[in-house]
Amino acid sequence: MLLEELKGIAEKEKAGRKQICVRCCMSAGCMSSQSAEIKQVLEKAVADRQLGDRVEVRRVGCMGLCGQGPLVSIEPEGLLYERVTPENAATIVETLAGGTTSAQRGDLTQPFFARQVAVVSRNGGRIDPERIEDYIEAGGYGALHHVLHELQPADVVVAITQSGLRGRGGGGYPTGLKWATVAKSKGERKYVICNGDEGDPGAFMDRSVLESDPHSVIEGMAIAGYAVGANMGYLYVRAEYPLAISRLQIAIRQARQRGLLGDALFESTFNFNVEIRIGAGAFVCGEETALMASIEGRRGQPRPRPPFPAESGLWGFPTLINNVETFANIVPIIIRGAEWYAGLGTEKSKGTKVFALTGKIKNNGLIEVPMGITIREIVEDLGGGAPDGAKIKAVQTGGPSGGCIPAHLFDTPVDYDSLMKVGSIMGSGGMVVMDDTTNMVDVARFYMQFCMEESCGKCIPCRAGTVQMYQLLNKILERQATIKDLEQLEELCDLVRNTSLCGLGQTAPNPVTSTLRYFRNEYLALLQPETGGYGVDAKQPADAKVAL
Amino acid sequence: MAVKTLTIDGKPVSAEENETILQAATDAGIKIPTLCHLDGLSEVGACRLCITEVSGSNKLLPACVTKVAEGMEVKTNSERLQKYRLMILELLFAERNHVCAVCVANNHCDLQNLAAEHGMTHVRFAYQYPNVPVDASHDWFVMDHNRCILCTRCVRVCDEIEGAHTWDVMGRGTNSRVITDLNQPWGESETCTSCSKCVQVCPTGALSSKGKSVAEMEKRRDFLPYLVQQREGRP
């Protein structure tokens, strides 16, 4: 592949484009409500109306407003149709021939769309994820060419460092620093791993990126491989994401056919290949050392660090491991420059973050917002507040490793450090909104059950401690617990946080500690009164009573 | 090889560069409680009993896998560490059915000894009373899951020393079990060489020899450093 050929593909694609494009979302959310059939209906309607010379129907990735799916949009008119059905899909095409439609109109200018900054999701809802030509037309693989021919590996690392990008898997480790460490590590071979084992309840950012724009992740991995000196990449994707896996397989096959993966990319001396590894259903395999053990074919269990993967990773070789969203940020940084990227977000948290907005909120779906936006803006402006005018009580971020942020702290800016300060974490991007019908002890129990079931069983505090904590939370919810049980719960939180082997155990108490911090009254109200529970403590505010 | 000096519990200690805190402490006569660790086997850092406080680190570091460093200040026995260790032991006792009075390993049990050393008089956590099996299908040995603490010493000795890899772990979380082959009865295992190394390294009465009654199962572990030394000494 040469640059001319790449440009040739893009030009040929542009020339073949029709005047009007009907985009049909074919991401997992919309597909589960029949968007595949809708696309067929749309195509048939175009053929029946003989509009084929000026209208094309395109399969696209996620448009974001998943709660209103299936979504169909019409470009360049900028029209959005929500909750489309196979029955009314044909009438959408009729409008292009002067007809009318009964399909529900959406508003692309509403804050949900207008307030977003599309970096990672730049191609989502625009390109066909199963056609490499679409990606190339959108400028795809240009960054890889630029890197291979204009930059030294060290320059790439510098660019990523200057961009201020931090790991989007949740930890927030500076990506540039990680790349520099792997680049400097000595090894006969090196590996790049993309962590696509997204498993937080309510989180689907990475799935959406992989389904909507698989090539941007592959290109990001290839650039990383060049920067750190690795020739082999593994995409670790959980088995629960069959559509993402199949689109990645298509993307990898197409990239190989076009010579964009393999040997001597763009006639340089750089070789890079990617393979997919499919997880087997363990949440803990999202932890990097467990993930690598799983790729190696061993039991997916974490091991103590150090040594860190950058020094001794896959089969003992230096390994760069980043999250899907992190890799999807690489191409824009290379193309638009580190300075542009560093201009987005806050001082210590640069760029944008994709969140999966779920729960008791009007606009369920995927959003990409600049760092530093407040939780209130996300919930009230983009999310549209609670449905049916209910009162929002808290937002849970960071999944089972995160915490609940109460409504009075909604002016907290969304960045790594601020969220940590209020007792939660950025996490991978799950954001579950809860209204005042939600019992926070029940929420804590849900997450504790998740951690208990997903504990790998290697270290004792996490294996046995989560069981005890889950049972104590059950006891509290059954109104059988005393103040002593609550004390024991807190002691266990302290133990498990401080003594567990890996991140799963160390953060497992967070949902309990954060709800205890802000909603202690809900716990106290459930305790046996004679032992210091709510019933005898008149000092507690009246609103602490819980609706069960 | 470079030598590092550090202080452990206020005592100046010198150690070789690649040694762990645990090795340095043992050499200096400072005892750090361990359970999954056994001289001669690889370290897994799983039992968390050997956690130590190292100045400059806000995390508690397991002594068995943490390498020494120049000027390191280690505390192995603070009040906080003692509290955590006791809780970990209590969690273990509550997790399976550990009844010392009827156990073959009574008086010869690492878990029991640690509980005594840490002044464990009772268990504050809810006993789980799991319904787990006993596998007595092997001609000479018995596996009693009621007494297993999942330290994986048996898994490691079988894989690393005997080379058979008969043992492994299945399931996850509190449902984890050590298994022979692909969860077949031990007696039907095609890979087991009946070498008894697993039985000897087992810290509790989970693995024992047949024919032993209460408190009769003494473990013999002196073979392990000897075997390792002989192998490492070979060209």
The residues spanned by each domain of chain A are 18-108, 140-340, 352-435, 446-544
Q: For B75-91, b where at least 16 C-beta lie within 10 A, e where not — what string?
A: bbbeeebeebbbbbbbb
Q: How far is CA A50 from the centre of its chain?
A: 41
Question: CA B41 → CA A231, A399, B154, distances in Å?
Answer: 34, 37, 10
Contact status of A42 with chain B (Cβ, < 8 Å): no
B116 pLDDT above the threshold of 70:
yes
Q: Which of residues 268-327 of A touch B (CB under 8 A)?
A: 282, 284, 299, 303-304, 306
How many distinct structural domains can be found in chain B? 2
Q: Do B45 and A303 touch (CB under 8 A)?
A: yes
Local structure of A415: helix, strand or coil: coil
Mean pLDDT, residues B65-72: 96
Confidence of residue A82 (pLDDT cuts 50, 70, 90): very high
Strand arrangement, sheet containing A319-323: A273-278, A232-237, A191-196, A319-323
Partners of A303 on chain B (C-beta within 8 Å) are 44-45
CA distance A29 to A68: 10
pLDDT in tens, B161-210: 999 999 999 999 999 999 999 999 999 999 999 999 999 999 999 999 99
Q: Which pLDDT score is estimated for A99? A: 87
CA distance A189 to A73: 46
Query: How far is residue B72's CA from residue B70's CA, in Å, rounded to a whole number?
Result: 5
- Chain B residue with minimal CA distance to A449? B173
User: Scanning every residue of chain A, which has its alpha carbon at the shortest distance from the alpha carbon of B45?
Assistant: A304
Residue B68 resides in a domain: yes
In this structure, the answer to whether residues B144 and B195 fall within a common structural domain is: yes
CA distance A326 to B111: 45
- C-alpha B88: how far from chain center: 13
CATH number, domain of B120, equals 3.30.70.20
The CATH number of A352-435, from 3.30.1780.10, 3.20.20.60, 3.10.20.600, 3.20.10.10, is: 3.10.20.600
Instruction: Give B 85-124 residues with CB within 8 A of chain A.
Output: 87-88, 91-92, 94-95, 124
- Asked if B57 has any chain A CB less than 8 Å from its own CB, the reply is no
Q: Rounded to an integer, what distance in angstroms lies between the CA atom of residue A403 and that of residue A5?
A: 50
Architecture of A18-108 per CATH? 3-Layer(aba) Sandwich (3.40)
Mutate to test the interface with A, among B18, B91, B111, B150 (most CBs of A within 10 A): B91
> What pLDDT is stored for residue A543 in this prediction?
44
* Chain A with chain B: Cβ pairs closer than 8 A: 91
3-class SS at A181? Answer: helix
Q: Closest to B46 (Cβ–Cβ): which among A282, A488, A501?
A: A501
Query: Residues A135-151: what's their mean pLDDT?
Result: 96
Residue B157 in 3-state DSSP?
Answer: helix
CB contact under 8 A, B172 and A455: yes
Say if B56 falls within a structural domain. yes
- Look at B1 and B7; give whichever has higher pLDDT: B7
CATH architecture, domain defined by A140-340: 3-Layer(aba) Sandwich (3.40)
Per-residue pLDDT of A491-542, as tens digits, reads: 999 999 999 999 999 999 999 999 999 999 999 999 987 665 555 343 344 3
Task: Return the closest-CA partner of residue A77 out of A101, A49, A45, A61.
Answer: A101
Place of tokens 């090539």: A215
Which residue is closest to A452 within chain B, CA to CA?
B173
Q: Are residues B140 and B126 in the same domain?
A: yes
Tell me how far apart the alpha carbons of residues A109 and A65 are, in angstroms, rounded to a whole number: 13
Q: How far is A504 from chain B (nearest CA, A)?
A: 12
- Is B135 found in the same domain as B112? yes
Question: Sheet holding B11-16: strands in order across?
Answer: B11-16, B3-8, B73-75, B51-54, B60-62
User: And the tokens for A227?
Assistant: 């920067």
* Residue pLDDT, tens place only, A204-238: 999 999 999 999 999 999 999 999 999 999 999 99
Span A243-274, pLDDT tens digits: 999 999 999 999 999 999 999 999 999 999 99
Residue A298 and residue A316 in contact, taking contact as beta carbons nearer than 8 Å: no
B192 and B102 within one domain = yes
How close does chain A come to B171, measured CA to CA in Å?
A: 8
Q: Which of A223-237, B56-70, B118-132, B212-226 has the lowest mean pLDDT?
A: B212-226
C-alpha distances in Å from residue A448, one per residue of A474, A505, A510, B154: 10, 11, 9, 30
For residue A18, pLDDT over 50 is answered with yes
pLDDT at site A1:
82
Averaged pLDDT, A186-194: 97
Rounded mean pLDDT, B44-73: 96
A35 close to B (CB below 8 A): no
Looking at the structure, do residues B194 and B87 belong to the same domain, yes or no? Answer: yes
Say if B41 falls within a structural domain.
yes
Residue A541 confidence (pLDDT)? 44
Cα–Cα distance measured from residue A335 to residue A216, given in angstroms and rounded to the nearest whole number: 12
CA-based nearest residue to A65, from A15, A27, A92: A27
Residue closest to B203 by CA, chosen among B70, B92, B102, B101 = B92
Mean of the per-residue pLDDT values for chain A? Answer: 94
Give the per-residue pLDDT at A532. 56
Candidates A315, A389, A327; CA nearest to A354 is A327
**What are the φ and ψ backbone dihedral angles of A426, each rounded to 5 degrees?**
-60, -45
Q: Which domain holds residue B215?
A: 83-221
Examine the predicted complex and report whether its ipTM is higher than 0.90: yes
Q: pLDDT tens-digit profile of A21-69?
A: 999 999 999 999 999 999 999 999 999 999 999 999 999 999 999 999 8
Shortest distance, CA B138 to any CA of chain A (angstroms): 26
- Judge whether A192 and A319 are in contact, CB under 8 Å: yes
> Any idea which fold A446-544 has?
de novo design (two linked rop proteins) (1.20.1440)
CB atoms within 10 A of CB A342: 16
Q: Which amino acid is at A310?
A: A
Per-residue pLDDT at A542: 38
Indicate if B96 and B189 belong to the same structural domain.
yes
Q: Does residue B166 lie in a domain region?
A: yes
DSSP single-letter state for residue A262: B
Q: Which of B53, B77, B101 is the last residue of a domain?
A: B77
Structural tokens at position A98: 């002067």
Determine, yes or no, domain membership for B164.
Answer: yes
| Residue A358: half-sphere exposure toward Cβ, Cα within 13 Å | 18
Within a domain: B192: yes
Considering B28, B56, B77, which residue would you say is the last residue of a domain?
B77
**Tokens found for residue A30:** 């919309």
| Intra-chain end-to-end CA distance of chain B, in Å | 21
Domain of residue B51, CATH code: 3.10.20.740
User: Would B226 be classed as within a structural domain?
Assistant: no
- Judged against a pLDDT cut of 90, whether residue B158 lies above it is answered with yes
Give the sign of the dihedral formed by CA A183, CA A186, CA A192, CA A193. Answer: negative
Chain B contact for A230 (CB, 8 A cutoff): no
In this complex, which of A299, A453, A471 lies closest to B126 when CB atoms are compared? A471
Average pLDDT over residues B100-119: 97
Name residue A353's beta-bridge partners: A369
Structure tokens belonging to residue A109 = 């200018």
Q: Do B84 and A499 touch (CB under 8 A)?
A: yes
Let me know: does A430 contact A201? Beta carbons within 8 Å: yes
* Residues whose CB falls within 8 Å of the CB of residue B37, separated by 6 or more in sequence, listed in order: B22, B43, B47, B50, B64
Backbone angles phi, psi at A55, to 5 degrees: -125, 135
Spatial contact of A326 and A168, defined as CB atoms under 8 Å apart: yes
Is residue B95 one of the residues assigned to a domain?
yes
Taking contacts as CB-CB distances below 8 angstroms, the residues of chain B near A400 are none
Which of B44, B80, B87 to mutate to probe the A interface, most A CBs <10 Å?
Answer: B87
Residue A319 has phi, psi (to 5 degrees) of: -135, 130
Among B45, B77, B109, residue at a domain's last position = B77
Q: Are A468 and B48 in contact (CB < 8 Å)? A: no
Average model confidence (pLDDT) across chain B: 95
- Chain B interface disruption, residue of A289, A463, A471, A497, most B CBs within 10 A: A463
Question: Is residue A135 predicted with pLDDT exceeding 70?
Answer: yes
* Binary contact (A458, B171; C-beta < 8 A): no
